[in-house]
């Protein structure tokens, strides 16, 4: 049986906060919410059971998403209309996802999480066109033309399908509650590849949507006893400050570089996590 590492000294607390500072920066830059990194950190370094790592990670993402959304609000890159449509579906999705964690054991949940990370990363690297054709095929169903002008005057124009956005929101919410990832890991590639949102608008809008999915998912995990507040507080402090740095850096990084960074990190973490639960 693994012994859970307790946060009993200043070094452990400081180490966790420092790690989460960089996690928050990377999460804000890529729109992933940080859960794809925080869950492995809690299981691999601090030996938390996967279920508690998922619940605790999701509680931290509440703070990450709010801090990042504030930064992107100032940059004026959030598509609030699309975000609210998708958020209306993330709430029931996140509640369902949290419930699903009670039906499987820790090893199964860990393997599913690792495979999910690798799949998302490969999808981003290969940039498959299947989803893109799917998005165009559904474009006639509630298609909406959008135009975003950010704080620097850069113009983003695109078309999206509202029914497709609602469906994606539900799936993102379910993955949030089930995997403790905030939903960004599935929403970023789908918003960008399937729904054709520009990558910078995708990242900003994904963070806005995560506010809703993470709050309701955390409430459900709290009811199941999966949230460890002794970890939540130092992790939240780290990601809040890191998220501000990440949003600032993302503004100056090309969309292609963001996607590469996103994919490389997910592959490395996914392979390491998979080896832990299979071997």
Residues with Cβ within 8 Å of 171's Cβ and at least 6 positions away in sequence, in order, are 93, 186, 190
Q: Please answer whether residues 217 and 95 qualify as being in contact, where contact means their C-beta atoms are separated by less than 8 angstroms.
A: yes
Cα Rg of the chain (Å, integer): 17
Is 1 part of any domain? Answer: no
Number of H helices, E strands in the chain: 11, 2
Q: SS3 of 279, please?
A: coil
* 192 domain residue, yes or no: yes
Confirm whether 101 is domain-assigned: yes
Place of tokens 């794809």: 36
By residue count, the chain amounts to 279
Range of the domain at 80: 10-278
Please check whether residue 231 lies inside any domain of the structure.
yes
Domain count, the chain: 1
Q: How far apart are CA 247 and CA 245, in angstroms?
A: 6
In a domain, 36, yes or no: yes
pLDDT in tens, the chain (279 residues): 455 555 667 888 888 999 999 888 877 776 665 777 888 888 888 888 888 998 998 899 888 788 778 888 999 999 998 888 888 888 888 889 888 888 888 788 778 878 877 887 787 677 544 444 445 555 445 578 889 999 889 999 888 877 777 877 788 788 778 877 766 667 777 787 777 788 889 888 988 988 888 898 899 889 989 999 889 999 999 988 887 788 777 777 776 777 677 788 778 778 877 877 776
Q: How far apart are CA 30 and CA 257, in angstroms?
A: 10
Quick check: is 226 in a domain? yes
**38 assigned to some structural domain:** yes
- 5 falls within a domain: no
């Amino acid at each position: 049986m693994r012994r859970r590492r307790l946060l009993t000294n200043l070094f452990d607390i400081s180490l966790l906060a420092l790690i989460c500072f960089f996690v928050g920066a990377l999460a804000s830059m890529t729109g992933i919410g940080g859960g794809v990194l925080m869950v492995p950190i809690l299981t691999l370094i601090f030996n938390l059971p996967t279920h508690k790592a998922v619940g605790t990670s999701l509680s931290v993402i509440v703070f990450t998403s709010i801090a990042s959304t504030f930064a992107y609000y100032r940059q004026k890159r959030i598509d609030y209309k699309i975000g609210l449509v998708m958020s209306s579906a993330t709430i029931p999705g996140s509640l369902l996802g949290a419930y699903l964690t009670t039906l499987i054991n820790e090893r199964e949940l860990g393997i599913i999480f690792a495979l999910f990370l690798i799949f998302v990363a490969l999808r981003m690297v290969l940039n498959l066109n299947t989803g893109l054709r799917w998005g165009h095929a559904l474009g006639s169903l509630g298609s909406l033309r959008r135009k975003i002008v950010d704080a620097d005057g850069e113009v983003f124009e695109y078309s999206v399908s509202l029914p497709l956005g609602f469906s994606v929101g539900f799936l993102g919410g379910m993955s949030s509650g089930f995997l403790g990832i905030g939903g960004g890991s599935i929403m970023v590639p789908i918003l960008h590849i399937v729904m054709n949102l520009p990558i910078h608008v995708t990242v900003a809008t994904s963070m806005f949507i995560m506010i809703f999915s993470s709050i309701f998912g955390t409430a459900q995990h709290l009811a199941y006893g999966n949230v460890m507040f002794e970890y939540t507080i130092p992790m939240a402090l780290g990601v809040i400050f890191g998220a501000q740095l990440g949003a600032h850096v993302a503004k100056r990084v090309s969309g292609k570089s963001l996607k590469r960074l996103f994919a490389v990190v997910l592959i490395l973490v996914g392979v390491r996590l998979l080896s832990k639960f299979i071997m």
